[in-house]
Amino acid sequence: MRQADQRQEPAAYERLVYKNASEYHYMKISLIFEKEGKRLEAAFFKQLIISALRDLYGEVGAAFPFDVLKFDEASLTAILRVYSSGLVKLWSALTLLGSYHNESCAVRVTQVSPFLLALSGNSRELVLN
Amino acid sequence: AHLVRISYPGRLRDSTPILKCISPCLQLLPLSRYLLCEIGVSEPASLQLLDERAVYTAVKAAVCRAHGDYGAALSSISFAVKYVNAHTGVVFLRCRKRYYRLIWSALAFITSLDSRGKKIPCFFNCLHVGGTIRTCQKFLIRYNTEQLHRMLPRCRNEAERLEVQKAVRSCSLKCTRREEEEEDEWDEDK
């Protein structure tokens, strides 16, 4: 904001909006089962997400490409990568995911960001010494 | 139409005037698209079993398979089978303008129709997408005349040739019903 502008016009500001920050969006999610202590393999996990997409968006939706970048079997957390145009579809399908082989489960979305580096840490888990 | 300039001073960097049209806006009407489709079957006799209910359930099931719950719900907003012709296999489907692509893409996945307990293997061929039934009718007339022109060189005897020429000459919007009857006569001659 320049001094000349402030004198001439009141309350003018400039906002820069980037339409395409990044081609991909990254999501950090965790899968929670009603029953404790359930373990899952990465392939089953991906199949679970694809079946959720198929329920909501059909064959066309299930064919949308996304990747499971990291999957932790013990804590059932994963990092997914999806094209930015498909983020809304993937997120809504994860929200409506209810059961896996007749067992109730839910997906908690911890973090979503267009940049992978942002998923390396967040202020909730920050430990200040 | 009256045009009014409205400007918001101080809010934007350069006060851009916003033009507002006050006259009654026709875009408030729900816009629809009419899909003109042709059903192709292996045996022409099984076309007689065609009815609106069979086409409706088949299209809905195909959209549900292809586009899921989301697609099924969106496409069924004011979805209707407007017209079915059991003799020629022509079908008019109506849907919302915004979501006609969901139905259009799902038509390719229909492999059979279930009518009165019998399964008819068929395929859907979308010929035209129009905004009103009248434009679709006009296209259908043009399309049928082109088909008849293509049939003319393949006529086997003089009687058939005369029939086809008579049918071509009588093609017009008012004579739709008569033209379709003549086509049926020609089919029965075969």
The CATH number for A34's domain is 3.30.70.3250
* Tens digit of each residue's pLDDT (9 = 90 or more) over B7-27: 545 544 444 445 445 445 556
Kindly state whether residue A47 falls inside one of the protein's structural domains: yes
CA angle B157, B162, B163 (to 5 degrees): 100
* Tens digit of each residue's pLDDT (9 = 90 or more) over A51-103: 999 999 999 999 999 999 999 998 899 999 999 999 999 999 999 998 888 88
Kindly state whether residue A67 falls inside one of the protein's structural domains: yes
Sheet holding B90-96, edge to edge: B80-85, B90-96, B32-41, B118-130, B112-115
Q: Which of A12, A14, A56 sits opposite B69 (nearest CB)?
A: A56
Report the 3 state secondary structure along B10-42.
CCCCCCCCEEEECCCCHHHCCCEEEEEEEEEEC
Domain boundaries, position A57: 24-114
Which pLDDT score is estimated for A67? 94
Kindly state whether residue A49 falls inside one of the protein's structural domains: yes
DSSP B86-114: TTTTEEEEEEESTTHHHHHHHHTT--EEE
User: Which of A6, A59, A88, A90 is the best residue to mutate to test the B interface, defined by the most B CB atoms within 10 Å of its own CB?
Assistant: A59
Domain count for chain A: 1
Q: Model's pTM, two decimal places?
A: 0.72
- B65 interaction partners in chain A (CB closer than 8 Å): 58-59
Which pLDDT score is estimated for B106? 94
Kindly state whether residue A127 falls inside one of the protein's structural domains: no
A vs B, Cβ pairs < 8 A, gives: 39
User: Which of B59, B69, B74, B110 is the best residue to mutate to test the A interface, defined by the most A CB atoms within 10 Å of its own CB?
Assistant: B69
R_g of chain B, CA atoms, integer Å: 23
Q: Domain locations in chain B?
A: 26-130, 133-190
Q: Which of A10, A14, A61 sits opposite B68 (nearest CB)?
A: A61
Annotation: CATH topology of B26-130: Alpha-Beta Plaits (3.30.70)
- A60 interaction partners in chain B (CB closer than 8 Å): 66-68, 71, 105
Which pLDDT score is estimated for A15? 80
Lowest mean pLDDT among A10-24, A37-51, B133-147: A10-24
Beta-carbon contacts of A68 under 8 Å, excluding residues fewer than 6 positions away, are A42, A45, A46, A49, A78, A79, A80
Tell me the ipTM for this assembly. Answer: 0.74
Kindly state whether residue A81 falls inside one of the protein's structural domains: yes
* pLDDT > 60? residue B178: no
